[in-house]
Amino acid sequence: MALQLYNTLTRAKEVFVPVDASHVRIYCCGPTVYSYAHIGNGRTFTAFDLLARVMKHLYPTVTYARNITDVDDKIMDRAKALGQSIETVTETTTAQFHADMDALNLLRPDVEPRATGHIGAMIAMIERLIAGGHAYAAEGHVLFNVPSMPDYGRLSRRSQDEMIAGARVEVAPYKKSPADFILWKPSAEDQPGWDSPWGRGRPGWHIECSAMTAAHLGPVFDVHGGGLDLIFPHHENEIAQSRCAHGTQVMANYWVHAGFLTMSGDKMSKSLGNIFTVAELLDEVPGEALRLALLQAHYRQPLDFSKEGLRQAKATLDRWYGVLRAAGTVPAAKVPDEVLAALEDDLNTPLAFSLLHELANRFHKETDEGARRAVAASFKAAANLMGLLTQDPEAWFRWTPKGAEGLDEAAIQAAIQARKDARAAKNFAEADRIRKVLLDQGVVLEDGAQGTTWKRV
């Protein structure tokens, strides 16, 4: 079947028709690097990573862009609170973001533009908007003239009053309309700023993505998206700026948004104190387990996150890696048609995972060695497409939570050898004792045709 995506712009699932089938271009709004990524961020970026992987499987060339916002008032506030330079905050936070996303097995984007590297492009876009009557300068600011765009609000489908309230716009005497939003604002001496026709200042948040997408993907591209919370005002304002600057009917043909993540039914929020960062969760479970947990629900649906769900994801991957351990080296194989079809249906991960479970069951039931290897090969190909089962099974089973005390590998191997010697001497009581000692320290032994293997639990 053809790839289908739910398009927020039309509120319908549509067959994906690229602008250029030889080069698909997609964009996800990236992090503002002032603090560590939380699991809500992780869910959005993992969903777009899966979309990029599926796109790269289906099309010859795909450019996946995800930006870094490194100029923002939140960054300035964070730097002041820490007593650090803005550059120190952005660099250290960006490095942590990359480490977190790598651990979740996210592909690095093909293009990762930084806002501070595109200030000139932002100024040029603002000048075009002013020339076209879509923006105006006032008291050192430049604002987008919302009434100049008749169908402003098409993405969010809000009334004018709802948009004004939802945007929480600043009341200012220099605004022509309450809905007008900032493209450029003045900077104080102790704030980052760039020279412009309107004085020294810095860009508004929304103009950044419009300038970066135009620079790297063109004025009209295939897919744009991010978290559901970005539909309004951020994505609505991006569309307004980009369309009016370039004279196009659309900015992107498909708008894809990941749903909210909740904790025990409550929306994650700092005020409720129920936010986990990706970094702290990676101390408790391997990155692939967190990835699986974040993909369990369909990306557009709410995902209720829990530590128990994380433990279940780890147990599932233990079983799946057990298939690869038992199969040994398997040949390359194509992704099973039914798994690909599930992912082509608007990234239907629940169905794809149920099919992976079926393949794992088939492997365990199959008695013919050649057939078992073939099933394992298909199973691995399907999981790899989803960014899973990419490690060596032995490395997976030896992962240990941060701070956990236990035997090192040399001690475990020595115990396994001692148990082997006890069994050879028919001292089964001693062999059983050694197994129990290891189990008490979180090490499970598994005897098979290839000898004894072990894993931590």
**Each residue's pLDDT tens digit, 118-144:** 999 999 999 999 999 999 999 999 999
* Per-residue model confidence as pLDDT tens digits over 49-62: 999 999 999 999 99
Q: What would the mean pLDDT of 8-19 be, rounded to a whole number?
A: 98
| Burial of 67 per CB tally in 10 Å (0-12, 13-18, 19+) | buried
Q: What per-residue confidence (pLDDT) applies to 406?
A: 67
Q: What per-residue confidence (pLDDT) applies to 264?
A: 74
* Per-residue model confidence as pLDDT tens digits over 430-440: 878 878 878 87
Q: What would the mean pLDDT of 382-394 be, rounded to a whole number?
A: 97
* Per-residue model confidence as pLDDT tens digits over 416-428: 888 888 888 888 8
Rounded CA gap, 57 and 55, in Å? 5
Q: What per-residue confidence (pLDDT) applies to 447?
A: 84
In this model, does residue 1 exceed pLDDT 80?
no
Q: What would the mean pLDDT of 17-42 be, rounded to a whole number?
A: 97
Please name every residue paired with 111 in a beta bridge, in sequence order, or none if there are none.
65
Rounded CA gap, 447 and 426, in Å? 16
Q: Is 244 annotated as a binding residue?
A: no
Q: What would the mean pLDDT of 89-104 be, rounded to a whole number?
A: 98
Q: What per-residue confidence (pLDDT) applies to 325?
A: 93
Q: Is 112 annotated as a binding residue?
A: no
Q: What per-residue confidence (pLDDT) applies to 196?
A: 98
In this model, does residue 449 exceed pLDDT 80?
no
Q: What per-residue confidence (pLDDT) applies to 166?
A: 56
Residue 34's φ and ψ, nearest 5 degrees, are: -125, -15
Domains delineated in the chain: 4-258 (3.40.50.620), 263-398 (1.20.120.640), 409-456 (no CATH)
* Per-residue model confidence as pLDDT tens digits over 220-235: 999 999 999 999 999 9
Rounded CA gap, 375 and 372, in Å? 5
Asked if 246 and 257 touch (Cβ cutoff 8 Å), the reply is no
**Percent of the chain clearing pLDDT 70 (strictly above):** 96
Give the closest residue to 453 by CA, choosing from 317, 326, 289, 313: 326
Q: What per-residue confidence (pLDDT) applies to 164?
A: 67
* Per-residue model confidence as pLDDT tens digits over 298-351: 999 999 999 999 999 999 999 999 999 999 999 999 999 999 999 999 999 999
Give the closest residue to 70 by CA, choosing from 212, 241, 186: 212
The three-state secondary structure class of 58 is helix
Mean pLDDT of the chain: 93
* Per-residue model confidence as pLDDT tens digits over 276-300: 999 999 999 999 999 999 999 999 9
Quickly state the pLDDT bin for 404 (edges 50, 70, 90): low
In this model, does residue 405 exceed pLDDT 70?
no
Q: What would the mean pLDDT of 21-45 be, rounded to a whole number?
A: 97
* Per-residue model confidence as pLDDT tens digits over 245-262: 999 999 999 999 999 998
Residue 312's φ and ψ, nearest 5 degrees, are: -65, -40
Kind and range of the H or E run holding 182: strand 181-186
Q: Indicate the angle between helix axes 369-385 and 39-58, nearest 10 degrees.
A: 120
**Percent of the chain clearing pLDDT 90 (strictly above):** 79
Asked if 63 and 23 touch (Cβ cutoff 8 Å), the reply is yes
Q: What would the mean pLDDT of 183-201 be, rounded to a whole number?
A: 96
Q: What per-residue confidence (pLDDT) applies to 443?
A: 84
Q: What per-residue confidence (pLDDT) applies to 413?
A: 82
In this model, does residue 66 exceed pLDDT 90?
yes
Q: What per-residue confidence (pLDDT) applies to 275?
A: 87
Q: Is 270 annotated as a binding residue?
A: yes
Quickly state the pLDDT bin for 167 (edges 50, 70, 90): low
Q: Give the contacts of 75 (CB within 8 A, at least 6 positions apart).
A: 32, 33, 34, 86, 89, 90
In this model, does residue 86 exceed pLDDT 90?
yes
Q: What per-residue confidence (pLDDT) applies to 432?
A: 83
Q: Is 238 annotated as a binding residue?
A: yes
The three-state secondary structure class of 202 is strand
